[in-house]
């Protein structure tokens, strides 16, 4: 083929890609971030509102939508949102974490542009700066299936979002000072459901309404900062249909443990006497149980909800056993990593195993949390910017921790931690919890297969216990005390991606790291170039922008 013909074919191919992406529907949002007084537990607190709302507005999208969110930061401090669970294929620049993005300065705006590509499910957005998440800035993020791709259940009569979480009445600046003084946050003051707690005296307005005989979808997310919750519907069972981005085998549950950062979707049928009922969220694995309620009202129903609440489960062994009941619905058709189960993750050879062990230790008399003996310190220059500008050596070093930590971790270093991973390697990550507090880990940019959660210590022999057929694909995994969790995934999404504790005081004090996945061919097929609109800061702020790295 002549060189000119090759060039013409190439540009026609690129143009077709742009036309396809441009042809997908675009949805736009204008969000103003402000301070405002909130009082979910009855105590006024300086909160963070989006468009005057706490929690923030629900973001409703559909698979393959192009999403534009223009965020105006009207706070007096930097602010940054992340889109938890959105995979940002080839586009780490929109992930909204401090290892990739500069925070939005006070009094300015930044426009996120990303595509919810080939995903469905229930997710969240929330701030990653300071301790902002403790007082708001979070909300639900729905990705609906396209009409051409049916979901494995009938359309519900309505679709509701429950944003529940623990809450501290101290305010985010006080919480930040507590952590920086070398202490942990202690117990929460209470729990809220969609920013409220029902009084239960008959004066409460309903959070949701249901009509007798109809079925409703509830998306339940734990947007708290450290406490696992158990959620249940008074007098009703839940049929679990989605976990984050996966359709599950439809099992019935009286209650569900939802750990920090996780989202479930359930179907609830209005099959009881028409009156009011409570939806209940209570803390798990805490010495003092705290409970919040919200009212669900049947249309034309009469009568207040019964004061007798359904009891929560006892002990974390119950929660572990519940995890083992979660299975992927391989017969369902939907946007997901392996349609109809064609991607046999259980038969792919593992090329690298990384064990990540968390510890809590004091450094210079102050509490720090670490992974494999390293406590993450946030540099002033985002890691991805430093890498893209070719000055990574001025900001961080790769692979400063080992893949297999020692049995005893006695020394903690404080540094940015970045693991250098090979593109498309199929890997095994073991989260090992050496402490007595429950952990919750999140991986940006990917969905992984949660193949095992067990007590004790992991060893290669434990692989015989993995679920290699229908493990649920998700992005957040809990790890019980003195236990471990195993995940499998292919690192096929180039970029700089965050692995972090969703227990926010742990994340703030170092229990996180990043993984760098670089396109070996510097190809736009693998990763997009840095957008012209990207904010710059740190050591690269005064440097000329490099030419596009990918072609």
Question: pLDDT tens-digit profile of 455-483?
Answer: 999 999 999 999 999 999 999 999 999 99
DSSP string, 324-380: TT--B-TT--SSSSSGGG-S-GGGSPP-EEEEEEEEEEEETTEEEEEETTEEE---S
Phi/psi zone of residue 261: left (φ > 0), alpha (ψ -120 to 50 degrees), beta? left
The confidence score (pLDDT) of residue 16 equals: 34
Assess whether pLDDT exceeds 90 at residue 422: yes
The confidence score (pLDDT) of residue 88 equals: 94
Cα–chain center distance at 281: 19
The residue length of the chain stands at 551
- pTM of the predicted structure, to 2 decimals: 0.94
Detail the DSSP E strand segments found in 172-261. 190-193, 208-210, 215-222, 229-233, 238-243, 246-247, 252-253, 255-258
What three-state secondary structure class fits 464? helix
Average pLDDT on 310-329 reads 95
What domains, with CATH codes, occur in the chain?
26-144 (2.60.40.420), 158-313 (2.60.40.420), 345-517 (2.60.40.420)
Pairwise pLDDT comparison (338 vs 151), residue with the higher score: 151
Residues contacting residue 487 through CB under 8 Å, at least 6 positions apart: 428, 429, 431, 443, 448, 449, 450, 451, 477
Give per-residue pLDDT as tens, 88-146.
999 999 999 999 999 999 999 999 999 998 889 999 999 999 999 999 999 999 999 98
Cα dihedral 153, 156, 159, 161 in deg (nearest 10): -60
Q: How many CA atoms lie within 13 A of 353 on its CB side?
A: 14
Give per-residue pLDDT as tens, 511-530.
999 999 999 999 999 999 99
CA distance 146 to 63: 6
Find out whether 539 and 386 touch, Cβ atoms under 8 Å: yes
Give per-residue pLDDT as tens, 361-386.
999 999 999 999 999 999 999 999 99
What three-state secondary structure class fits 25? coil
CA distance 466 to 473: 14
Q: Look over the chain and give the mean of its residue pLDDT values, rounded to a whole number.
A: 93
Give per-residue pLDDT as tens, 36-84.
999 999 999 999 999 999 999 999 999 999 999 999 999 999 999 999 9
| Strand 255-258 versus strand 208-210 pairing type | unpaired
Assess whether pLDDT exceeds 50 at residue 259: yes
The confidence score (pLDDT) of residue 188 equals: 97
Per mean pLDDT, which range of 145-159, 293-307, 344-358, 525-539 is the poorest? Answer: 145-159
User: Closest Cα partner for 492 from 520, 470, 472?
Assistant: 520
Find out whether 237 and 253 touch, Cβ atoms under 8 Å: yes
Would you place residue 334 in the very low, low, confident or very high pLDDT band (cuts 50, 70, 90)?
Answer: low
Q: What is each CA distance from 22 to 50, 190, 311, in whole angstroms?
A: 28, 46, 51
Find out whether 414 and 396 touch, Cβ atoms under 8 Å: no
CA distance 450 to 323: 10
The confidence score (pLDDT) of residue 340 equals: 39
pLDDT above 70 as % of the chain: 94
Structure tokens at 267: 């179907």
CA distance 225 to 544: 39
Residues contacting residue 93 through CB under 8 Å, at least 6 positions apart: 100, 101, 384, 528, 530, 531, 534
Strand partners, 479: 439
* CA R_g for the chain: 23
């Amino acid at each position: 083929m002549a060189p000119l013909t090759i060039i013409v074919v190439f540009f026609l191919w690129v143009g077709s890609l742009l036309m396809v992406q441009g042809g997908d529907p675009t949805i736009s949002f204008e969000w103003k971030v402000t301070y405002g007084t909130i009082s979910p537990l009855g105590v006024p607190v300086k909160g963070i509102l989006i468009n005057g709302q706490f929690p923030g507005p629900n973001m409703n999208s559909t698979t393959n939508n192009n999403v534009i969110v223009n965020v105006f930061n009207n706070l007096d401090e930097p602010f940054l949102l992340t889109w938890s669970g959105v995979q940002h294929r080839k586009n780490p620049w929109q992930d909204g974490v401090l290892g990739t993005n500069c925070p939005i300065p006070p009094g300015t705006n930044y426009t996120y542009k990303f595509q919810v590509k080939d995903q469905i499910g229930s997710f969240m957005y929330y701030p990653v700066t300071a301790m902002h998440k403790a007082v708001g800035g979070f909300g639900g993020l729905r990705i609906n299936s396209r009409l051409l791709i049916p979901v494995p259940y009938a359309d519900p009569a309505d679709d509701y979002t429950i944003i529940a979480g623990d809450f501290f009445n101290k305010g985010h600046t006080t919480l930040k000072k507590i952590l920086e003084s070398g202490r942990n946050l202690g117990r929460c003051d209470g729990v809220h459901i969609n920013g409220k707690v029902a009084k239960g005296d008959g004066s409460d307005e309903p959070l949701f309404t249901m009509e007798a005989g109809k079925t409703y979808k509830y998306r339940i997310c734990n947007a708290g900062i450290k406490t696992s919750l158990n959620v249940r519907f008074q007098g009703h069972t839940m049929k679990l249909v989605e976990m984050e981005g996966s359709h599950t085998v439809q099992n019935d549950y009286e209650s569900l443990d939802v750990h920090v950062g996780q989202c479930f979707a359930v179907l609830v049928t209005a099959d009881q006497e028409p009156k009011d009922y409570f939806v209940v969220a209570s803390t798990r694995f805490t010495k003092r149980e705290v409970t919040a309620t919200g009212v669900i009202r049947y249309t034309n129903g009469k009568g207040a909800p019964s004061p007798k609440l359904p009891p929560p489960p006892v002990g974390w062994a119950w929660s572990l056993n519940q995890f083992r009941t979660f299975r992927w619905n391989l017969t369902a058709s939907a946007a997901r990593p392996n349609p109809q189960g064609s991607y046999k993750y259980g038969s792919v050879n593992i090329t690298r195993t990384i064990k990540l062990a968390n510890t809590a230790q004091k450094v210079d008399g102050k509490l720090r949390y670490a992974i494999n003996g390293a406590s993450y310190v946030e540099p002033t220059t985002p890691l991805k910017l430093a890498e893209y500008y070719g000055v990574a050596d001025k900001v961080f070093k790769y692979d400063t921790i080992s893949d297999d930590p020692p049995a005893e971790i006695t020394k903690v270093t404080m540094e940015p931690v970045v693991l250098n991973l090979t593109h498309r390697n199929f890997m095994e990550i073991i989260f090992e919890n050496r402490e007595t507090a429950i952990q919750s880990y999140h991986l940006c940019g990917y969905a992984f297969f949660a193949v095992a959660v067990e007590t004790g210590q992991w060893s290669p022999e434990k692989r015989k216990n993995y679920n290699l057929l229908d493990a649920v694909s998700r992005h957040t995994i809990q790890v019980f005390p003195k236990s471990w969790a195993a995940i499998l995934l292919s690192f096929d999404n180039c970029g700089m991606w965050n692995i972090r504790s969703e227990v926010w005081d742990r994340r703030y004090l170092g229990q996180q790291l990043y993984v760098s996945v670089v396109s070996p061919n510097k190809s736009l097929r693998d990763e997009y170039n840095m957008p012209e609109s990207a904010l710059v800061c740190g050591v690269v702020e005064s440097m000329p922008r490099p030419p596009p790295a990918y072609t």
